[in-house]
Amino acid sequence: MSWGIFGEDLPDEANRVTVDAALTDSSGIPAPKITYAVSENSRRLLDFHIARATESLHTAGAYDVATEALMRSSGWHLLGTARMGTDPRTSVVDPYGRSHDIPNLYVMDGSVFVTSGGVNPTSTITALALRSTEHLIASRRDQRIPA
């Protein structure tokens, strides 16, 4: 028997994606650097729910309970690095995934999420990509051109 605990990370300016100063890909293009740390709030949320899950297992008759707080091998859905919104001061892309700053750059993945539940985000990513693509096609003659 196992429990999987999913919690929501609150937005944290310290968590971000930047361009790595030293690392490049095979074409010499600078690589992204992901900076992420579990916040104090997220740690407390996980600890609380791990304790509740442990209690439930003991109540159900378990005699040996092992816990692992952060399962790196299970993968995570790190979302929200290119936040969607209408205000360029607080978001990276508009509601259709178009960059506020770079003409004709669209982001159509989970990074546009402003928040996420504890479920796989694939269906929502797919729905947003379809919505954004339909908007891109409908407005294709109005695309901004880089200056």
For the record, the structure tokens of 73 come out as 């091998």
pLDDT value, residue 59: 96
pLDDT value, residue 68: 82
How do residues 81-91 score in pLDDT, each as one tens digit?
788 999 999 99
Which residue of the set 49, 58, 77, 100 is catalytic? 77
**pLDDT over threshold 70, residue 74:** no
pLDDT, averaged across the chain? 87
* Amino acid code (one letter) for 96: Y
Q: 140: closest CA among 95, 127, 132, 100?
A: 132
pTM for this one? 0.64
* Amino acid code (one letter) for 144: R
How do residues 6-50 score in pLDDT, each as one tens digit?
777 777 888 888 899 899 989 999 998 888 888 899 899 989 999
**88 in Cβ contact with 128 (< 8 Å):** no
Q: Is 49 an active-site residue?
A: no
How many Cβ atoms from other residues are within 10 Å of residue 93's Cβ? 23
pLDDT value, residue 75: 63
Q: What percent of the chain has pLDDT over 90?
A: 48
Q: Give domain limits for the chain.
A: 1-71, 77-147
